[in-house]
Amino acid sequence: NTTGAEGGNGIPSQEDLKLYALQQKYTEEAAKRFRADGISQFVELKDAESGRFRALGEDPWADHAALNAKETVKNGAKYKIVILGAGYGGLLYAARLIQAGVASGPDDILIVDAAGGFGGTWWWNRYPGLHCDVESYTYMPLLEETGYMPRSKYAPGSELREHAERIATQWNLHDKALFRSSVKSVHWDEEAKVWNVKITEGRGPEEKSREIEVQAQYFVAASGVLTNPQIPKIPGLESFSGSMFHTARWDYSVTGGTPEEQNLTGLQGKRVGVIGTGATSIQLVPQLAKWAKEVYVFQRTPSQVSWRGQRATDPDEWKNKIAYKKGWQLERQLNYNSYLTNAPKADQENMVGDAWTQFRAYAAIVGSPAWGIIEPTPEKIGEHIARLYRIDAPHTEAARARVDEIVKDPETAAKLKSWYPTWCKRPTFSDEYLQAFNLPHVHLVDTNGKGVDSATETGLVVAGKEYPVDILVLSTGYRTPALGGGSPAVRTGVEIYGREGKPMDDKWQNYGAATLHGVCSNGFPNLFFTGLSQHASAANYVLTIEVSITHIVHLIATAEAKVGDGSRAVIEVTSEAEEAWSMETMRRAAYFSAVMGCTPGYITSEGEASQVSPDPMVMMKKARQSGWSEGLEDFMRVLEEYRAEGSLKGVEVTPVA
Ligand code: FAD
Ligand code: NDP
């Protein structure tokens, strides 16, 4: 029981009893969904045995002829900085490194990405209905520097990708990027004090791929969090004879339309099945409903769907209220973040003012400065979780009431209600999704938490009934970013060999996460990653990576200033400093125990993260993976104080001639 406080005289109050019943319901619903096979119920498209599934993972957007015509990177080429990833993270790295004067020469930067162009998430994902879910004014990076005004409060995918191009153009990055290329491994060369970076460059279906090795003084990774599309191992799926594709690789040749003009004429007269009801599906289903003859939505767990409030940007409001002064974007990002960390200042204006900013209990996974460090005792943890449930309950009740208000058929409405705390899955927002189920040709196939049983040549089977479909859309998400204990080597898919050839992944698997500020690790000099473990997080992922990148650029710039002109710097955190930082984050681990009651999903590695192990070593590794429990703004303060002190405490900087 985590409902905590009692009414007078030890007798539970009505509110406690209600909360207790709610919690029971959550537990029952979660129990339906826990599976012994955890994350192995899925296969990543790139690792699938089936050639058909592997092909679904290929880049549909790369212009191979144009890319093959460009001069490519020479084997043995030397760069100052190799950036892994050309998404918003990689672009931010490049822009900030250039701004700081760390990368000023023509061969200072090489950006490598498996994709055929800039954008990362926004390159790969082009499904109909795609938008950012965090307000574009706070989500799109470098708006002040580019002077760009997003066209609407929530930008569509095409505009988000366009913005990646804009950044690349402004910072002259087009000739500094190697696309269709996977970084396979990096090896620290102790003598030369550089990273040897092994890359496989894809050249499209007509040409053989190339193996290249380049040298880099620094290797920085911005490989993203949701980059590896996965599908469930549904028996018979491969035998489905109709068209089938994953949302992260939309097939407009089947559906008609383009990412910019989403006239899905190819769906006319067709029955479309969609597996999955996560954030992607919420955006997609209303678009399919406009064109297809029948839409079958196969649901395992309903998402919590709140109002969206999309609107065009008003240029006057933009000028006078939004982009109204230098530094406005960070101010707005932090204003927004303060609501999600349950710590808005009493008199402040809610600048973004959307449904996200009502989710005070989201603090369960992004931290809050409001409650200090939670002691790891059953009483304190119980109190903490009870508090979060209490803050969240009115909100989840309102979300369920919203379903009743919108969905006319009471049976369908009941199935669309979510029964888990808000923080267990990415919240979703739509003014069209629930409404779509009032249309006669949109059918909800609820699997009562079990998932689709099997597939046939002609459709999907649930509870013994076959649902024939012509086209099957796999809206089944991505590999969890926490795979491998959040090991940077696993996250990036790069084998990382540091000093004495030691693999970084061994360190993570044997001891757990070990970093300074979540961005670098002892034994791996001049290598940096954007924080996940031992770092704070925010609902706005761009703000999270901006915090990492600002810090990393400071570490490099300060170290270079220390060694002076004419020398290179080797930058490495000491093992004492990283252990001290790991202890700091471990002290904060108990705060995140509210995920224990969560329904499975990628946030909890399909429930694996919330299991308690009798092995203290396993629990210690979990604790080492912890985030910053006081939230991102507090974390920024800690990093700012560190930077202001100026000496790069705990970091060894060695000059190399
Ligand atoms: P990514 O954009 O994922 O880019 C990483 C790049 O690294 C990829 O292009 C990948 O190909 C490349 N890469 C990785 N490993 C290798 C390798 N070994 N070799 C070569 N290349 C490699 N977050 C929000 O805050 N708000 C949102 O609204 C939001 N919407 C989202 C919508 C979708 C559909 C998805 C999937 C995610 C969304 N996210 C959102 C999370 C989103 O991923 C981040 O906001 C952000 O775009 C990540 O930027 P990134 O550059 O760090 O990673
Ligand atoms: P999710 O992982 O959120 O959703 C996958 C869906 O597939 C879930 O509904 C899952 O059910 C379902 N599923 C898995 N296996 C089966 C099965 N065997 N049978 C039936 N259903 C199954 O992936 P998304 O692509 O929707 O979203 C991933 C993340 O990307 C989001 O959480 C968000 O962070 C980001 N995103 C943001 C968007 C935005 O608004 N800007 C849009 C899209 C994505 P179950 O829930 O039971 O596991």
Instruction: Report the C-alpha gap between 108 and 114 in whole angstroms.
Output: 20
The two structure tokens encoding residue 246: 């994953």
pLDDT tens digits, one per residue of 260-313: 999 999 999 999 999 999 999 999 999 999 999 999 999 999 999 999 999 999
To test the pocket of ligand 2, the residue of 131, 419, 476, 602 to mutate (highest count of ligand atoms within 8 Å of its CB) is: 476
The two structure tokens encoding residue 168: 């690349």
Chain center to CA of 447: 27
Say yes or no to pLDDT of 336 above 60. yes
Mean per-residue pLDDT over the chain, rounded: 96
How many percent of the chain have pLDDT more than 90? 93
57 in ligand 1 pocket by Cβ < 6 Å?
no
Lowest mean pLDDT among 56-60, 65-69, 595-599: 595-599
Residues in CB range of 583: below 8 A, 6 or more apart: none
Instruction: Report the C-alpha gap between 375 and 383 in whole angstroms.
Output: 11
Q: What is the mean pLDDT of residues 498-516?
A: 96
125 in ligand 1 pocket by Cβ < 6 Å?
yes
pLDDT tens digits, one per residue of 22-34: 999 999 999 999 9
DSSP-based three-state secondary structure for 109: strand
Locate the ligand 1 atom nearest the alpha carbon of residue 541 and give its number. Answer: 25
pTM: 0.97
136 in ligand 2 pocket by Cβ < 6 Å?
no
pLDDT at 596: 85
Q: Which helix (H) or strand (E) holds 112?
A: strand 109-112
223 in ligand 1 pocket by Cβ < 6 Å?
yes
Sign of the Cα torsion 144, 145, 150, 155 reads negative
Q: How confident is the model at residue 613 (pLDDT cuts 50, 70, 90)?
A: confident
541 in ligand 1 pocket by Cβ < 6 Å?
yes
- Determine the Cα angle at 392 with ends 386 and 393, to 5°: 90
CB-neighbour burial class of residue 28 (10 A; exposed 0-12, middle 13-18, buried 19+): exposed
Ligand 1, atom 38, residue with closest C-alpha: 121
Q: Report ipTM for this prediction.
A: 0.99
- Strands 568-573 and 651-656, sheet pairing: antiparallel
Q: What is the mean pLDDT of residues 144-168?
A: 98
Lowest mean pLDDT among 421-435, 604-618, 636-650: 604-618
- Strands 210-221 and 194-201, sheet pairing: antiparallel
Look at the block and give the residue holding tokens 């704070």: 536
Locate the ligand 2 atom nearest the alpha carbon of residue 279 and give its number. Answer: 26
End-to-end CA gap in the chain: 62
185 in ligand 1 pocket by Cβ < 6 Å?
no
Say yes or no to pLDDT of 7 above 80. no
Under the phi-then-psi rule, with left for phi > 0, alpha for psi from -120 to 50, and beta for the rest, what region is 129? left
pLDDT at 8: 56
CB-neighbour burial class of residue 394 (10 A; exposed 0-12, middle 13-18, buried 19+): exposed
pLDDT at 91: 98
Q: How confident is the model at residue 1 (pLDDT cuts 50, 70, 90)?
A: very low
Instruction: Report the C-alpha gap between 6 and 469 in whole angstroms.
Output: 53
133 in ligand 2 pocket by Cβ < 6 Å?
yes
Instruction: Report the C-alpha gap between 101 and 319 in whole angstroms.
Output: 30
Locate the ligand 2 atom nearest the alpha carbon of residue 426 and give its number. Answer: 32
pLDDT tens digits, one per residue of 381-434: 999 999 999 999 999 999 999 999 999 999 999 999 999 999 999 999 999 999
Ligand 1, atom 33, residue with closest C-alpha: 121
Ligand 2, atom 25, residue with closest C-alpha: 477
Number of H helices, E strands in the chain: 22, 22
Instruction: Report the C-alpha gap between 313 and 43 in whole angstroms.
Output: 41
576-605 in b/e form (b: 16+ CB < 10 A) is ebbbebbeebbbbbbbbbbbebbbbbbbbb
Chain center to CA of 376: 28
282-304 in b/e form (b: 16+ CB < 10 A) is bbbbbbbbbbbebbbbbbbbbbb
Cα 223 to Cα 284, 486, 491, 525: the distances in Å are: 25, 12, 7, 19
Sign of the Cα torsion 210, 213, 216, 221 reads positive
Q: Which helix (H) or strand (E) holds 44?
A: strand 42-44
Q: What is the mean pLDDT of residues 434-456?
A: 98
The C-alpha R_g of the chain, in whole angstroms, comes to: 25
